[in-house]
Copies of this chain bind each other. A is one copy, B any other.
Amino acid sequence: MKRNLLLTALLAASVFTGAYAQEAVDQDMVNKIREEGLNHSQVMNTAFYLTDVSGPRLSGSPELRHAQEWAMGQLKTWGMSNVALEPWGKFGKGWDVQKNYAAITVPYYHAIIAIPKAWTPSTNGPIKTDVVLLKVDTVTDLDQYKGKLKGKIVIMDTKTTLAQGLKPDLTRYTDEELDKMAKAGPEQPRGPRPGNANNFIETRRRMMAMRTAVSTFLMDEGAALILSQARGTDGTVFTTNGASYAEDAKPVLPELETSGEDYLRIVRLLKGGISVQMEADIQTKFYTDDLQGYDVVAEIPGTDKKLKDQLVMLGGHFDSWHGGTGATDNAAGSAVMMEALRILKTIGFKPKRTIRLALWTSEEQGLFGSRNYVLNHFGDPKTMTLKPEQAKVSAYYNLDNGTGKIRGIYLQGNQAAGPIFQSWLAPFKDLGASTVTIGNTGGTDHLSFDAVGIPGFQFIQEPMDYNTRTHHSNQDTYDRLSADDLKQAATIIASFVYNTSQRTDMIPRKELPKPPPAAGN
């Protein structure tokens, strides 16, 4: 019934009008939050320590731990309670880069732009050798290279050409785009893939099998180093995972993710019959003394007798990839969430419900930090076995889409939350945040909460150059952070957290998700 009413409302142009009255917003408190957040911000200083000072925060690395220690110190300095490094379970090996040098030496000298793939090993000291072009369409094509690759650097043939810069790297949402999001209906479950799904799966399966066969072959033949082509242009290198971080991961070869321009130059030379020699010295280090994963948590304790056991949570993932310093992914979100907490503490706010910050790790490997936290505290999405604490979390707010300011919020299909959030956004219309969309957004830690029926939300952020330039790239550095955008985001989130902590009722929940079919067996 309620659902039908809301569905009807969704058909109107202005979706949630008429429902505001119930959500009184304390304008005085909003003013205090705005004053602290916009005019006395520390968000850029926080971001500086998470990026420039700490370096890349790859899961399990000493650089991540450095950033965690700094964050805990800072949170304590700000007066937060229960600041802790909470283990969430076993992750695997830490890893970082200790030396990264590679250059073409024949036909002339040229140092290349390249990044070791995460969790790949070192070269056998400095090496200097020929580069061999591998042209392989089927597994049997490998035979011709038997006995020819020992100690060589190997590159794969490709038909790739580089994208041209026909569009700006950096964009912000237009009013039309936001309007479309606001008017969108509930998402329909996706039907089967159009065209021949079996063909697609079969192609993918064959490709994966091929890749494994090539890897095994190169390992057996004793190649010295693999060059793979990175996504990106202009010196921008998007990095990926190159090997397993598992304690018992099977050995792989050193592998360099090579900038498009440098990769294609080498391929063109070899295809043109011109010999290429290179020198390289890649030293990476594995850390196995502590295989645990940890989240940083901190609280502003609740003060209302009845409500202080209830929680408002906010967070974002704290780990990053290793090519840059993970500034937009996700020092930005981490710094904003820490700043939101600082704002509330600094203005002397005593919440009714307890406010808990969590800075997750191993998000990049599969949301492990938040998933395991949820498993440890709230319930198991595989069986939908819930713990008592699950019932006590009003909402979880997440930020993880770069440096862009907040333009609104994704309801993640939770229609009942719409009118509430509309009211809470109203005082921030002048800062550009007013869109509430029923739509989902995926790929990050709010999903871990959503999976066990806790309202988990991610904000709509300006796209900026997240998808074009920074997301997982060597260019994800402090330079990409927009101070004004981050201040705005921290201010609005502080206000959301404030409202959630004081609201008479908890945020309404969607129907509890059904456990996936496998769990029924």
Residues on A facing B (Cβ under 8 Å): 48, 52-56, 63, 66, 96-101, 103, 107-111, 113, 161-162, 164-170, 233-237, 259-261, 264-265, 268-269, 272, 274, 325, 465, 468-469, 474-475, 477-479
Interchain CB contact under 8 A, A48 and B272: yes
Interchain CB contact under 8 A, A165 and B161: no
Interchain CB contact under 8 A, A261 and B479: yes
Besides the known contacts A96-B109, A97-B111, 12 further A-B residue pairs in the complex with CB atoms under 8 A apart: A53-B107, A55-B108, A56-B110, A97-B109, A100-B103, A101-B101, A113-B235, A165-B169, A167-B168, A169-B234, A235-B236, A260-B479
A234 contacts which of B56, B274, B469 (Cβ < 8 Å)?
B469
A100 contacts which of B54, B111, B165 (Cβ < 8 Å)?
B111
A107–B259 alpha-carbon span in the complex (Å):
25
Chain B residues lying within 8 Å of A465, measured Cβ to Cβ, are 164-165
A47–B275 alpha-carbon span in the complex (Å):
18
Chain B residues lying within 8 Å of A162, measured Cβ to Cβ, are 479
Chain B residues lying within 8 Å of A56, measured Cβ to Cβ, are 108, 110
A3–B497 alpha-carbon span in the complex (Å):
76
Closest to A51 in B: B265
Closest to A464 in B: B164
A70–B268 alpha-carbon span in the complex (Å):
18
| Nearest-Cβ distance from residue A465 to partner chain B, whole angstroms | 6
A52 contacts which of B235, B260, B268, B468 (Cβ < 8 Å)?
B268
Closest to A101 in B: B101
A265 contacts which of B169, B274, B477 (Cβ < 8 Å)?
B477
A325–B268 alpha-carbon span in the complex (Å):
14
Chain B residues lying within 8 Å of A236, measured Cβ to Cβ, are 234-235
Q: Is the interface of A mostly helix, strand, loop or mixed?
A: loop
* Known contacts A264-B479, A465-B164, A474-B235; A272/B109 CB under 8 A: no
Chain B residues lying within 8 Å of A48, measured Cβ to Cβ, are 268, 272
Chain B residues lying within 8 Å of A113, measured Cβ to Cβ, are 113, 235
* Known contacts A52-B272, A53-B269, A468-B165; A475/B103 CB under 8 A: no
A235–B109 alpha-carbon span in the complex (Å):
19
Interchain CB contact under 8 A, B234 and A54: no
Chain B residues lying within 8 Å of A101, measured Cβ to Cβ, are 101, 103, 111
A418–B269 alpha-carbon span in the complex (Å):
43
* Known contacts A166-B168, A268-B478, A478-B265; A108/B54 CB under 8 A: yes
Chain B residues lying within 8 Å of A260, measured Cβ to Cβ, are 479
A144–B141 alpha-carbon span in the complex (Å):
66
| Nearest-Cβ distance from residue A172 to partner chain B, whole angstroms | 9
A55–B112 alpha-carbon span in the complex (Å):
13
A191–B235 alpha-carbon span in the complex (Å):
42
